[in-house]
Amino acid sequence: MTVTIDAHELKAQLASDDPPVLLDVRWALGDSEGREHYRDAHIPGAVFVDLDNELASHGEPSDGRHPLPEISDLQNAARSWGIGSGSRVVAYDNTGNLAAARAWWLLRWGGLTDVTLLDGGLASWTAAGFETASGDEIPAPGDVELTPGHLPTLTADEIESYSGTLLDARAPERYSGETEPIDPKAGHIPGAINAPTAANLDADGRFLSADALRERFDSAGADVAVYCGSGVTAAHQIAALAIAGIDAALYPGSWSQWSNQPNRPVATGASTR
């Protein structure tokens, strides 16, 4: 599975007769100004994607903060971004693809196969000396048809009885229960191993090499599932695992769902991969 594309290859593709659909997924926990960041500077031709409202649905706290969207809603959003049935898609952000990976995962879950991440995000584009644009981009509507289930997911009940390797992609202090800034309980799902998402990246916000990622996940085994706070950065972990040649399932509800269901067990303490 090809997961990433570099800035020079993207530049060439955008200048071709068949350019990819380019998605700017500017989002970060605690920063609600993603659209303004996009309007200030984005890769020419990129369409802004609203993670909170287009890459997630909304429900009760027991559903988690970012439940998967209904497939009809995701399809309508994808069409509004200009995605057609034969489109190539490239997603990026300005935080090492920690947010853009959610779009990468969802579109693949919905059945698209040619979806990649701009390695290093917007910073890699500008570091290459390429221009940016400002304002909004309004694409011609696409006609893509999506169907769910092309990537594996697990429910909370399935996670509670899960016998494979369960990776918690949050920061160590949240995993251990030392701090919890947003969810109602601190700690982690019993049996989970901490594998912080940030460790998938180098100092420039690019994914580590496939060899380095394979070494990082060398003891994960063949049956792997991932969760994070709300199912966003866990998608980044799945992208990193894919680069390493390891398939993994997503627990979409993640800690925000688990910690809002009173009957779920909670563990604390450190265990980092």
pLDDT digits (tens, 9 = 90+) for 183-200: 999 999 999 999 999 999
* CATH classification at residue 206: 3.40.250.10
- Residue 66 placed within a domain: yes
Confidence of residue 33 (pLDDT cuts 50, 70, 90): confident
pTM above 0.85, yes or no: yes
Average pLDDT for 148-172:
96
| Tokens standing for residue 107 | 């579109």
- Residue 139 placed within a domain: no
How far are the Cα atoms of 51, 120, 125, 238 from residue 56, in angstroms, in the given order? 7, 24, 27, 18
Q: Are residues 121 and 193 in the same domain?
A: no
Q: How far apart are CA 14 and CA 250, in angstroms?
A: 31
Q: State what percent of residues in the chain have pLDDT above 70.
A: 99
Confidence of residue 221 (pLDDT cuts 50, 70, 90): confident
Q: How confident is the model over 38-87, as pLDDT tens digits? A: 999 999 999 999 999 999 998 889 999 999 999 999 999 999 999 998 89
Number of separate domains in the chain: 2
Q: State what percent of residues in the chain have pLDDT above 90.
A: 91
Pairing verdict, β 193-194 and 47-48: unpaired
pLDDT in the model for residue 107:
98
The parent domain of residue 85 ranges over 4-128
- Of 68, 98, 225, 228, the active-site residue reads 228
pLDDT in the model for residue 15:
95
Confidence of residue 222 (pLDDT cuts 50, 70, 90): confident
- Residue 98 placed within a domain: yes
| Tokens standing for residue 250 | 């997503």
Q: Are residues 112 and 171 in the same domain?
A: no
Average pLDDT for 245-259:
97
- Residue 137 placed within a domain: no
pLDDT in the model for residue 34:
86
Q: Are residues 205 and 92 in the same domain?
A: no
Is pLDDT of 238 > 80?
A: yes
- Residue 133 placed within a domain: no
Average pLDDT for 145-156:
97
Point out the domain boundary residue: 128, 148, 164. Answer: 128
Q: How far apart are CA 46 and CA 38, in angstroms?
A: 9
Task: Clarify whether 228 is annotated catalytic.
Answer: yes
Confidence of residue 30 (pLDDT cuts 50, 70, 90): confident
Is pLDDT of 273 > 80?
A: no
Q: How far apart are CA 38 and CA 47, in angstroms?
A: 9
Is pLDDT of 1 > 80?
A: no
Whose tokens are 């580590």? That residue is: 208
Closest C-alpha to 172, from 182, 160, 185, 187: 187
| Tokens standing for residue 96 | 């090492």
Q: Is the Cβ–Cβ distance between 170 and 179 less than 8 Å? A: no
Q: Are residues 114 and 12 in the same domain?
A: yes
Q: Mean pLDDT in the chain? A: 95
pLDDT in the model for residue 272:
60
Q: Are residues 121 and 190 in the same domain?
A: no
67 against 270, higher pLDDT: 67
Calculate ∠ Cα 224-230-232, nearest 5°: 70
Q: At 122, phi and psi to the nearest 5?
A: -60, -35
Question: What would you measure as the largest C-alpha separation in the chain, in angstroms?
Answer: 55
Strand blocks (E) in 106-158: 115-118
Q: At 245, phi and psi to the nearest 5?
A: 85, 20
Q: Are residues 168 and 98 in the same domain?
A: no
Average pLDDT for 205-221:
93
Q: Is the Cβ–Cβ distance between 107 and 242 less than 8 Å? A: no
Cα 188–chain centre separation: 20
Point out the domain boundary residue: 113, 128, 143. Answer: 128
Confidence of residue 123 (pLDDT cuts 50, 70, 90): very high
How far are the Cα atoms of 164, 179, 226, 272 from residue 193, in angstroms, in the given order? 11, 17, 10, 6
Q: Which strand (E) or helix (H) includes residue 28?
A: none
Q: How far apart are CA 124 and CA 122, in angstroms?
A: 5
